[in-house]
Amino acid sequence: MDTQLKQLIKKDLNLHRKFIPAVFAAGVASMVIAAISEFAFFVGSLLFITTLVAFGIMICVYSVTQERDKKIHLFVLSLPITSSQYTWAKVISSVICFAVPWAILFATVVAAILGLDSVLDSYLPYATLVMLYFLCNFCLFLTIIVVSSSEKVMVAAILVTNVCITIALQAFARVPSISQNIDTGLIVWSPTVLMIVLAEIVFCILCLSAAVYIQKQKTDLV
């Protein structure tokens, strides 16, 4: 990785790292609320989902959209860097900013499932699919924001991705190996679950690769 690219990534990380502790705190608070009662579980789950989704949107808006609106990207592109380096820097820095609290919260969720007697271990495959879906959701939104400067497209992307979250949660819960074993306490990593996990990881990679590739084909980044 060359020096210019490292500097661009470092710049964005320095700008957004202050949000990471707040996101982690909000995520943990949501989990604590969810453990209080059955009703609190739904409230805490909603807060947890909102925290991750809102943070992902905020990273994309501040890192890409706002910089584009203020024409800061034109100044950056006037430096001795290529458009591909600029796009890679945006993608890498944005993913790191989101992935750090996401990974920590994911690990916290896993620890809670395996460590608390009040939570069945059988929820682990479902939680894994859901947490990876949030990463997919972020990567898709980031790709859309990177390749399109239209506010209408951004708003549409927010609406569609938010609606799809509810659909995904219901779909994962209906995976046979999950629905059939959720009350047994057994952790079952069925071929279907593993296939979905792999598909989610590949989806993230394809989204980020598409963002860089599409931007590389453009002749006008204004």
Q: Contact, 66 vs 151, CB < 8 A? A: no
203: in domain: yes
Structure tokens at 155: 């708003």
124: in domain: yes
What DSSP letter does each residue of 161-212 carry, written as one string?
Answer: HHHHHHHHHHHHHTSHHHHTTTTTT-----HHHHHHHHHHHHHHHHHHHHHH
* Amino acid letter, 147: V
Q: Contact, 100 vs 16, CB < 8 A? A: no
Structure tokens at 116: 């608390």
Which range marks the domain in which residue 78 is found?
Answer: 3-217
156: in domain: yes
147: in domain: yes
222: in domain: no
Q: Contact, 63 vs 90, CB < 8 A? A: yes
47: in domain: yes
177: in domain: yes
- What is the spatial distance between Cα 140 and Cα 57, in angstroms, rounded to a whole number? 11
> What's the alpha-carbon Rg for the chain, to the nearest Å?
19
How much is the pLDDT for 60?
83
Q: Contact, 141 vs 157, CB < 8 A? A: yes
Q: Contact, 15 vs 72, CB < 8 A? A: no
137: in domain: yes
How much is the pLDDT for 71?
53
Q: What is the pLDDT along the chain (222 residues), one digit of tens a residue?
A: 566 667 777 777 777 777 888 888 888 888 888 778 777 778 888 898 888 898 888 888 877 766 665 555 544 555 556 667 777 888 888 898 899 989 999 998 898 888 877 778 888 999 999 999 999 999 999 999 888 877 888 889 889 888 899 899 999 989 998 988 888 888 889 999 999 999 999 999 999 999 888 877 765 554
- What is the spatial distance between Cα 99 and Cα 221, in angstroms, rounded to a whole number? 27
- What is the spatial distance between Cα 71 and Cα 80, in angstroms, rounded to a whole number? 17
How much is the pLDDT for 75?
46
- What is the spatial distance between Cα 179 and Cα 162, in angstroms, rounded to a whole number? 24
Structure tokens at 85: 């380096």
Q: Cα dihedral angle (120, 123, 128, 130), rounded to 10 degrees?
A: -130
The number of domains in the chain is: 1
Whole-model pTM? 0.86
